[in-house]
Chains A and B, each alone.
Chain A
Amino acid sequence: EIGMTQSPATLSVSPGERATLSCRASQSVTTKLAWYQQKPGQAPRLLIYNAFTRATGIPARFSGSGSGTEFTLTISSLQSEDFAVYYCQQGYNWPWTFGQGTRVEIK
């Protein structure tokens, strides 16, 4: 099973600032990497797939990068609605696995 490790566990950011979230895979997942956003009491929402492709309707301030074992989700200018938990997920080998999440909170 491929382990996914996200850092940091919690990120404190002021509105309008840039947020950088990291995700590391225990072995290469090529670019089979997705990012999700989850707000309290809601289902997750797909943000990015194939490491850098934005899902339908996702604002351009969200961008993904990386390949192999190291990936980054960048939110260029945090809006109030972006404070949430973010998960990465690999789809390279079954079982597809999620990271433990990064909570983005208001500084």
Chain B
Amino acid sequence: EVQLVESGGGLVQPGGSLRLSCAASGFTFSAYWMTWVRQAPGKGLEWVANMAERERGGETNYVDSVKGRFTISRDNAKNSLYLQMNSLRAEDTAVYYCARHRVGGREVEFWGQGTLVTVSS
């Protein structure tokens, strides 16, 4: 059974940093694109960043609003995905979902339960 468990969310002041983690199990982690998608309270979904599987050299993509502030990374030996978030802003407040792409696809097939990040003074 595919499982994705996020951790690391919480309350942080504007300008602060936070590192989200996602522990993956039930599949060959290194073989899949992985993604972070966020959802502000009461709002829709926004793709934040994704990262390619090992065979594609770990290519990364970011939405413009987080470029230069967020870094996605993965540790295939630990079956883990990360999102380092720096220079956080109020508008980054959201539930952050760790997610696995469908094999060879550009959509999310499996989602974690999400972790809430609140940026506020």
Interface residues of A (CB under 8 A from B): 1, 32, 34, 36, 38, 43-46, 49-50, 55, 87, 89, 91-92, 94-101
- Given A95-B61, A101-B44, decide whether A32 and B106 contact each other with a Cβ distance below 8 A: yes
A100 vs B46: C-alpha distance when bound (angstroms): 10
Specify which chain A residues have a CB less than 8 angstroms from the CB of B46 in the assembled complex. Answer: 98
Per DSSP, chain A at the interface is: loop
Which one of B44, B102, B114 contacts A46 once the chains associate, using CB atoms below 8 Å? B102
Specify which chain A residues have a CB less than 8 angstroms from the CB of B44 in the assembled complex. Answer: 87, 98-101
Instruction: Determine if B64 is an interface residue (Cβ-Cβ < 8 Å).
Output: yes
- Given A43-B112, A43-B114, decide whether A96 and B47 contact each other with a Cβ distance below 8 A: yes
Specify which chain B residues have a CB less than 8 angstroms from the CB of A1 in the assembled complex. Answer: 64
Which one of A32, A92, A95 contacts B47 once the chains associate, using CB atoms below 8 Å? A95
Distance in Å: Cβ of A93 to nearest Cβ of chain B: 10
A63 vs B71: C-alpha distance when bound (angstroms): 37
